[in-house]
Amino acid sequence: MYCVAVRWTRHYDEIVSEDDMSMTRPRRATAWRAFTVGLLVVVAMALFGEPAMASPQEADPEYRTLPFVSSRVVMWIIAELHLMFAAFVLAVPMFAVIIEYIGYKTGDKRFDQLAYDFTKLLSVSFSFTATLGALLTFALIVLYPALTKYLVKIFSWTFLPYVLLFFFEAVFLYAYYYGWGKFSPRVHLFLGIMLNLVGTAIMFIANAWLTFMNTPSGIDEMGNLTSLWDAINNYIWMPINIHRLIANMAFGGAIGAAYGAYKFLGAKTLKEKAHYDWMGYIGIFIAICALLPLPFAGYWLGVEIYAYDQSLGITLMGGTFSWLFIVQAVLIGNLFLAANYYLWLSMGRIAGAERYRHLIKYLLAVITLCFIVWATPHSLVATVEEARAMGGSHHPILNVLGVMSAKNTAVNLLILTTYVSFLLYRRANKEATVSWAKTGNLVQFGIFAVVVIFVVFLGVLGYFVDAQTRIGLSQPQVYSVLFAMVSVTVIDIFLFRGANTRGSIEWGKIPARAQYALFFLAITFAWLMGLMGYVRAGMRQHWHVYGVIRDTSVDAFTPTLGFAGMIVSITVIIFFLFIAVVFYLTGLAGKKNYEAPEKSGRRRFRRAKKANTQVPAGSAAPDAS
């Protein structure tokens, strides 16, 4: 164990020292916290950890094990928690800066306050992210030394920029947070933009490490590095970068909305309710805006995985992990349903929205149908008798719904339907006054109709063409949906320029169940992240680095779906316990300062005075101060 401690120290020096030597006070506190936690882990490992697969002569075991719990589960939970917090910390500054900019341009102070409310969540979350990151590093070094050594060998040149960027992120983040109202708006916005750029760069570097493990490139047959850039720019690096950027926005928006819901439910005044209702709405607006293009990014990622190696692709979507994609479909279907539900409830606070209420049932019918198509498995769970009746595990009718042609069509229509809900919400209290209003509406309807027909046509066509063409058909589907959303929005902006208003939006006038829908959305996003994080890592199966470093530990088996689901769920529960702490600590900022309780004698004196009775004997008189 001595060797472990020495090597850990060396690694810590390499990885963390730069960061530690030159950081601001808050970041230093974070690092010390992380250091302490890490130290505790190392001590615990030293006391309880056992080298696995190591003969007495071997100084460097490939693995170390823990008592009671497998190393893989420990790494799994820590990594996922770190990822969730990192996603949140990277996402919030993105939309905080945009909201702040809107406030700056419009001069509306409410936007500035809203951006600040979101940013307040960052301080504690950043500390948690750093602590979990340190814990992840230590656990990796101690539990998987051989793998860590290999990754360090490949990516050693990326660590220095990573640490430097991390340092800059701490500086920009705390300058952005503590400097609110202290700098000129332009300087403050610049700090926010820099925070985003640095945060994104950090994520891109870390993504290179993890994507290399899935689709290694830039190495020779012996696993030696031949090109660092190729190792970084591997098959799924850029798809993961884009996918995570968008997913982080969706996740961060949903958690921010949950915070708004939490504050709304505890609000004492109408003004507070109105503010936090608005905060919840803006949070979920951001989440849904990011959710809409997310399936496209996911599809691109899937295509690249398949392109790298069909084994990985088949394991992912058609083999061992395919059932998890059904779970994913159910969760995403729920996300779309809950997002639309929140929008429909939100229309209750807008005078004039009742005109569109009758359309909800049609939107819901489309959503339900698409949800069903998306969640239909290719091979069905069936008893022997049921399977015999079907002639196998494929149902002759439902079979066609189990493949990507149907699912791509369903998801595109789901996106369009959600957009329509947004559009109805947007125009709920508006009455167009332009002379071409009728034509404009007709054109908008025409665009929707043509795009829906086109998307369905391509979906059906997918069954009659070869696989390569079918994969290509997803692109025109995506572009046509994007075209519909952009063109209809542009028309809508001009259509309602100078529009009459039927009434104002009464913020705060929304049922409590809408706030629970926001909680539901945040939890579902977190669950989804946990699930797909597992799928991305798990598809390597018995490889640490696919095709290069084989997993020879006692955990080198694919866990059952039930076990995986349980670990993901436990991780989500732990994450929300942490988030509850973040919400509580953030909420302290608005509380009154602590006042020392008065002495009992003085209290009794005051009470007696209030009651206009004689001061009890022996009571101390209040002093003049």
Partner 1 sequence: MNLLPLLLIVALLVAIRFATVRWLPLNRLAWLAIWWVAIYAGLATGIDPPLPSSIIVLFMAIVSLALVAYLSADSDELTSAIKAVNTFIVEPRFRIGLIIVAVAVPALTAFKVYSDLSSPPQPPSSGRTIHPPPPASINVSGQTVNLATATNPYRELEHSDQAAFAEHVANGRRIYFENCFYCHGDNMQGAGMFAHGYDPIPANFNDPTTIAMLQESYLFWRIAKGAPGLPSESTPWSSAMPAWEEFLTDEEMWDVIIFLYEFTGYEPRAQGMPH
| Distance (Å, whole) CA 210 – CA 262 | 34
Phi-psi region of 611 (alpha: psi -120 to 50; beta: other; left: phi over 0): alpha
Q: How many other C-beta atoms are found inside a 10 Å radius of the C-beta of residue 403?
A: 16
**Closest distance to partner 1 from the beta carbon of 417 (Å):** 12
| Residue of 357, 606, 607, 609 that binds partner 1 (CB under 8 A) | 357
Residue 317 CA neighbour count, 13 Å, CB half: 15
**Closest distance to partner 1 from the beta carbon of 179 (Å):** 42
Instruction: Please choose, out of 52-60, 357-365, 407-415, 492-500, the segment that lies near partner 1 by the rule CB under 8 A.
Output: 357-365
| Residue of 126, 138, 204, 235 that binds partner 1 (CB under 8 A) | 235
| Distance (Å, whole) CA 429 – CA 406 | 36
| Distance (Å, whole) CA 130 – CA 81 | 11
**Closest distance to partner 1 from the beta carbon of 416 (Å):** 17
Of residues 430-489, which lie at the interface with partner 1 (CB under 8 A)? 463-464, 466-468, 471
**Closest distance to partner 1 from the beta carbon of 371 (Å):** 5
Considering only CA atoms, which of 289, 292, 374, 297 is closest in space to residue 95?
289
Instruction: Please choose, out of 61-69, 104-112, 194-202, 358-366, the segment that lies near partner 1 by the rule CB under 8 A.
Output: 358-366
Shorter beta-carbon distance to partner 1: residue 182 or 361: 361
Instruction: Please choose, out of 74-82, 173-181, 260-268, 360-368, the segment that lies near partner 1 by the rule CB under 8 A.
Output: 360-368
Instruction: Please choose, out of 71-79, 140-148, 315-323, 584-592, the segment that lies near partner 1 by the rule CB under 8 A.
Output: 315-323
Of residues 378-407, which lie at the interface with partner 1 (CB under 8 A)? 378-399, 402-403
Using rule CB under 8 A, residue 558 touches partner 1: yes
**Closest distance to partner 1 from the beta carbon of 511 (Å):** 6
Using rule CB under 8 A, residue 355 touches partner 1: no
Instruction: Please choose, out of 33-41, 101-109, 340-348, 599-607, the segment that lies near partner 1 by the rule CB under 8 A.
Output: 340-348
Considering only CA atoms, which of 396, 383, 444 is closest in space to residue 416?
444
Instruction: Please choose, out of 121-129, 298-306, 478-486, 601-609, the segment that lies near partner 1 by the rule CB under 8 A.
Output: 298-306
| Residue of 95, 306, 520, 583 that binds partner 1 (CB under 8 A) | 306
**Closest distance to partner 1 from the beta carbon of 158 (Å):** 20
Shorter beta-carbon distance to partner 1: residue 185 or 565: 565
| Distance (Å, whole) CA 308 – CA 214 | 9
| Distance (Å, whole) CA 357 – CA 363 | 10
Query: Phi and psi (nearest 5°) for 175?
Result: -65, -40
The 3-state DSSP class for residue 248 equals helix
CB-CB contact of 294 with 336 (8 Å)? no
Q: What pairing do the DSSP bridges indicate for beta strands 549-550 and 543-545?
A: antiparallel
Shorter beta-carbon distance to partner 1: residue 372 or 423: 372
Considering only CA atoms, which of 214, 79, 212 is closest in space to residue 144?
79
| Distance (Å, whole) CA 449 – CA 445 | 6
Using rule CB under 8 A, residue 361 touches partner 1: yes
Cα 423 to Cα 323, 324, 347, 485: the distances in Å are 34, 33, 11, 10
Shorter beta-carbon distance to partner 1: residue 49 or 402: 402
Residue 227 identity:
S
Q: What pairing do the DSSP bridges indicate for beta strands 543-545 and 500-501?
A: unpaired
Shorter beta-carbon distance to partner 1: residue 315 or 480: 315
Element (H, E) at 543: strand 543-545
Of residues 490-519, which lie at the interface with partner 1 (CB under 8 A)? 511, 513
**Closest distance to partner 1 from the beta carbon of 215 (Å):** 9
Using rule CB under 8 A, residue 243 touches partner 1: no
Shorter beta-carbon distance to partner 1: residue 397 or 596: 397
Shorter beta-carbon distance to partner 1: residue 456 or 556: 556
Burial of 616 (0-12, 13-18, 19+ CB in 10 A): exposed
**Closest distance to partner 1 from the beta carbon of 296 (Å):** 15
**Closest distance to partner 1 from the beta carbon of 45 (Å):** 31
Using rule CB under 8 A, residue 66 touches partner 1: no
The single-letter DSSP state of residue 183 is S
Q: Dihedral of the CA atoms 290, 294, 296, 300 (nearest 10)?
A: 130
Element (H, E) at 119: helix 109-143
Of residues 535-554, which lie at the interface with partner 1 (CB under 8 A)? 541, 547
Shorter beta-carbon distance to partner 1: residue 127 or 346: 346
Angle subtended at Cα 307 by Cα 408 and Cα 407, rounded to the nearest 5 degrees: 10
Instruction: Please choose, out of 47-55, 246-254, 343-351, 582-590, the segment that lies near partner 1 by the rule CB under 8 A.
Output: 343-351
Burial string for 567-601 (b: 16+ CB within 10 Å, else e) reads bbeebbeebbebbeebbeebeeeeeeeeeeeeeee
**Closest distance to partner 1 from the beta carbon of 49 (Å):** 29
Instruction: Please choose, out of 108-116, 266-274, 309-317, 492-500, the segment that lies near partner 1 by the rule CB under 8 A.
Output: 309-317
Instruction: Please choose, out of 21-29, 187-195, 204-212, 327-335, the segment that lies near partner 1 by the rule CB under 8 A.
Output: 327-335
Shorter beta-carbon distance to partner 1: residue 205 or 387: 387
Shorter beta-carbon distance to partner 1: residue 365 or 450: 365
The 3-state DSSP class for residue 338 equals helix
